[in-house]
Chains A and B, each alone.
Chain A
Amino acid sequence: MNAAPAPMLLLVSLLGLWVVIGFLGLLRPTSLKLVAHGLFPLGAAVGVAIATTAALSIASPVEQWVLGVGLPDLPVHLRRDALASVFLFLLGAASAGISLFGAGYFRRGEGTLPGLLCLQYHLFLASMGAVLLADDAYSFMVAWESMALTSYFLVTTQHRIPEIRQAGFLYVLIAHLGAIAILLSFGVMQGGSWQFTFDAMRAAELPPSWASAAFLLALLGFGAKAGLVPMHVWLPEAHPAAPSPVSALMSGVMLKTAVYGVLRVTFDLLDDPLWWWGLVAMALGLFSALYGVVFAAAQTDMKRLLAFSSIENVGLLFTGFGLALIFQSAGMNAPAALALIAVLYHAVNHAFMKGLLFVGTGAVLHATGQRNLGCLGGLIHRMPWVAWPTLIGALAIAGLPPLNGFVSEWLLLQAFLSAHEVPRLFLNMLLPLGTAVVALAAALAGYVMVKFFGVVFLGQPREAALKDAHDAGWRERAGMIWLAAGCVLFGLLPNQAISLLARVPVELGLLEPGATFGSWWLLDPVAGRQASYAPLVFLAIVLLCVVATIFVVTRIYRRRVRRGAPWDCGFARLDPRMQDTAEGFGQPIRHIFEPFFGMRRELPRPTDPAPHYRVEVSDRIWNGVYVPAAALVQHLALSVAQLQQGRISTYLVYSLVTLLVLLGFVL
């Protein structure tokens, strides 16, 4: 056991502190006060410490540490490099806001006892950290599985409800299918050396066919965890089932560990990508992006809507990843580095935006008891502390300048603009179509967010009970403001962020050390192309225009405002029921993208005395792939079950036959 380097030691002990905090919850498992006032805020502080350490250590050299714990002869290998640091920063910073929100969120009677919940939550955080630091397949898989299991228990916090148990089962099932694929991928990558450290995998020389097998298995395994279509089905079930801070963590952070995994395997462990790997990843990513955003527009449950939006963003991440792979395999290192930076940037951004939106839905859920968009509305008046930060998150995820979502989409589009230099005519023609799909998905995200924010927070309350909705408490507010501040800062200071993120392509050998992306205020990533963006100047000019307009208009003209009944074209009896419902708002999307949906409509005849209109939207992939697969498994299980008679005489006959057959072999 060698001595541990400083940032690594600090990070490992902070992760250990999360474990300790978790076990402290067991001291008095029924005490909500201890958990809410002590342990969750403490966990948030540890998150800030991890984020700071990780951000400061990005530029420092790679550190490795062999820790002699666990099974004999199987020490735990740990490694911290720039890639791990970026994701540790994401984990720490996003979880800090979410834990702070969680401190005010968890209530008595949520199903699991508060102390136990605290243990599961902090073990979940610590295992995500361990996934990022692991440097051999054993410890990686142990961390990966404890992440899956702790999050399973968190999803089924309200385990008394059958639907929630079912959602949890689906989640853990797909998580394990993914884990098997990852395990097999590691098995392929050791390349006959039977050494399962990542160093051995880096050193192994794989023939292209085996490397491709490892890549596809890793893509399948990590794709299942990330929610890539067609392995996405658990996301829209598990996210509504989980408590909101847990949904925020899973969507904001856990999906990113899968992105980390696929980046680690492809760029670090298998270093020579083939060009078609990128094409496969990009095709899956583009399809997920479009599929996710189209389904998000059709949802009526706010957490399902956000879950589908996560599928879209994961799709964008994998699109960028595929683009980076294509560039790297074509020897175009600078655009590959740009695409990789766009992926990392978007991963960090999405952690903040989606975390913010999910905790926002949590506050709405607590105040109103409703997840159904059709029963919400007008909450901006009752819950301004929730509405305004959520607006920032919604605008950011819609990719509007000057917030953070725009920067990463801008970088991705700039990377796409280099696609015509790829020296393959076939790819040359295909990649612009990718650009078009990314542009379409980004524009649709705006539609989805207007629907989400407009239906939940604007308009008139659709139910009378909403009039008594209460605003969030101060810890919830603080958590939301932390996440919203992340959205704003990463939007306004992209150069500072990118100068840190650029360490990753530098370590991977894609970028010269010292490459710059413009001055401190001007983002200018592509040499030789005039393409720049300066969010600070941009914001200043927009604000100047807006403030000048307000000043001029209100100074010169009368400032008086009279409040009156809404005009509504002279219609006097305005009713909240006359607003668009969530179904209505999604109708154009259902109409335009009809082939995506499995739809069943029941339309009333004109003569019906009690007309009833019903439309059921379902997922074709669920009906077309998962339901038949489940039926097949059921069928196979039943035919195997024929063996099981429940009579001891039958089992004795089986034993006899087995012995005779074995005897036959021996003789």
Chain B
Amino acid sequence: MSGFSWLIQVIEVLVALLAAPLFAGWIAQCRAVLQNRTPPSIWLPYRNIRKLLAKEAVLAEHASPLFRIAPYIVFGTMICAAAIVPSLSTNLPFSNAADAIALVGLLATARVFMALAAMDVGTAFGTLGARREMMVGFLAEPALLIVIFVASLISQSTALPTIADRLATEAFALYPSLAFTAVAFALVLLAENARLPVDNPATHLELTMIHEAMLLEYSARHLALMEWSAALKLFNYACIGMALFVPWGAATTEMPTAPALILAIPVLALKLLVSGAVLAVAETAFAKLRVFRVPELLATAFLLAVLGLLVHLLLQG
């Protein structure tokens, strides 16, 4: 049994790794359709990564070793995060070693390394991007933590698969606290993944960039890893959201058999298709905020999450 769950663990990581660029491609397609543009191929992110991997890497003269290892660390932490987040099954052995608080810490590690690498070459855009990314991060991270706390109070566990498992298998109940936290989580997702009201993933105007400004000095395989990590991060966030708010469909501990797992794959695909389309609609509907309005947006997310916590304690405490 244990061997089987480790197999599921590995399958899940591989699915995340391979499907993440596809998810990014799907969102780009939806956005293009909504904006009356000819959509790019859904396989474009893969081609991009393949192209970048094959190129010769150029490093700035005074880049330190930290700059070179940062893409690998960021990519490694994102794979690791994919191992904690339940997307296909809620019976993940690795999640004992790292609960949801550790997941938040893992995402913070990736962010800190990315910001440090951006400061390493010492360009104006790099430090600007690092500063803005850390600004977004320090508001989004506690909001995410509180969102997770609400779910852990409901399910008496801080392990994400267990949370999803209990939410999916217990008798259906409406949690008003989860409604607040869902809104908070959606805002955090947009901010942390450099999506539209906060950052424009398609921008070419350096002064408005956050995420892209940090990657300006990267090229070839390092850039490929950074882009793949960004896609993985978005995929992970989408899966965290589904684990917390629509946990049904994944294979649970009650039925961790092969058929359930096979059934879980199309369910996951469907959820991702829908959430990607919703994300594209949201991104088309919002206009980009000025950088100094971003803290207000995230403070709203943080307060909504705290409100969710209070609502939970008032109603269920």
Contact = CB atoms under 8 A, between A and B. Distances in A.
Nearest to B144: A439
Interface of A: 377-378, 380-381, 391, 395, 398-401, 406, 410, 413-414, 417, 420, 428-429, 432-433, 435-436, 439-440, 442-444, 446-447, 449-451, 453-455, 458-460, 522, 528-534, 537-538, 541-543, 545-546, 548-550, 553, 556-558, 560-569, 574, 576, 578-580, 584-585, 587-589, 591-592
B12 to A, nearest CB: 13
Contact of A580 (B60, B127, B302): B127
B313 A432 contact: yes
B105 A443 contact: no
A576 B111 CA distance: 24
B260 to A, nearest CB: 21
Contacts of B128: 580
A244 to B, nearest CB: 23
Interface stretch (B25-33, B51-59, B270-278): B51-59
Interface of B: 53-54, 56-62, 64, 66, 72-73, 75-77, 79-80, 83, 94, 96-99, 101-102, 105-106, 108-109, 111-112, 115-116, 119-125, 127-128, 130-132, 134-135, 137-139, 141-142, 145-146, 149, 152-153, 156-159, 162, 206, 216-217, 219, 221, 225, 292, 295, 302, 305-306, 309-310, 313-314, 317
Contacts of B292: 591
A420 to B, nearest CB: 5
A522 B96 contact: yes
A566 B98 contact: no
B159 A530 contact: yes
B130 A450 contact: yes
A537 B97 contact: yes
B127 A542 contact: no
A640 B77 CA distance: 67
Given A443-B138, A550-B72, A564-B60, 9 more contacts: A432-B310, A436-B309, A446-B112, A458-B64, A538-B102, A557-B221, A561-B57, A561-B59, A584-B131
A537 B95 CA distance: 10
B115 A529 contact: no
Nearest to B213: A569
What are the 8 closest A-B residue pairs judged by CB atoms, nearest first?
Answer: A459-B122, A546-B76, A439-B142, A580-B127, A530-B157, A460-B122, A454-B119, A545-B76
5 contacts: A414-B101, A440-B142, A453-B116, A546-B75, A550-B72
Nearest to A550: B72
Contacts of B106: 401, 542
Nearest to B143: A439
Contacts of A439: 141-142, 145-146
A564 B125 contact: no
B97 A538 contact: yes
Given A381-B62, A439-B145, A566 B217 contact: yes
A420 B76 CA distance: 36
Contacts of B75: 545-546, 549
> Which of A563, A579, A585, A588 is most buried by chain B, counting CB atoms within 10 A of its CB?
A588
Contacts of B130: 450, 454, 580
Nearest to A521: B97
Contacts of B64: 380-381, 458
Contacts of B83: 541
Given A450-B130, A530-B158, A549-B225, A432 B105 contact: no
B159 A532 contact: yes
B251 to A, nearest CB: 18
A414 B158 contact: yes
Given A439-B142, A553-B225, A395 B123 contact: no
Contact of A377 (B122, B135, B216): B122
Contacts of B216: 567-569
> Residue among B76, B138, B159, B305 with the most chain A CB within 10 A?
B138
Given A533-B102, A562-B58, A528 B156 contact: yes
Given A417-B153, A568-B216, A579-B127, A533 B108 contact: no
B241 to A, nearest CB: 19
A553 B75 CA distance: 12
A549 B225 CA distance: 9
A584 to B, nearest CB: 7
B7 to A, nearest CB: 16
Contacts of A451: 134
A620 to B, nearest CB: 21
A526 to B, nearest CB: 9
Contacts of B101: 410, 413-414, 533
Contact of B137 (A378, A436, A443): A443
A545 to B, nearest CB: 4
Contacts of B135: 447, 588-589, 592
A140 to B, nearest CB: 38
B159 A566 contact: no
Contacts of A406: 102, 105
A568 B61 contact: no
B158 A380 contact: no
Nearest to A405: B105
Given A417-B158, A564-B60, A566-B123, A534 B310 contact: no
B66 A380 contact: yes
A491 to B, nearest CB: 11
Contact of A567 (B60, B131, B306): B60
Contact of A562 (B59, B77, B145): B59
Given A439-B145, A588-B131, A553 B221 contact: yes
A553 B64 CA distance: 20
A11 B139 CA distance: 47
A446 B123 contact: no
B157 A569 contact: no
A450 B313 contact: no
Given A377-B122, A450-B130, A538-B97, A592 B295 contact: yes
Given A446-B138, A458-B119, A399 B97 contact: no
Nearest to B106: A401
Nearest to A454: B119
A414 B100 CA distance: 11
Contact of A398 (B56, B60, B72, B108): B108
Contact of A579 (B76, B77, B122, B138): B122
Given A454-B119, A458-B120, A531 B157 contact: yes
Given A436-B146, A574-B123, A428 B317 contact: yes
Contact of A400 (B94, B109, B158, B217): B109
B125 A568 contact: yes
Contact of B158 (A391, A420, A529): A529
A533 B120 contact: no
A589 B135 CA distance: 8
A583 to B, nearest CB: 11
Contacts of B116: 450, 453-454, 458
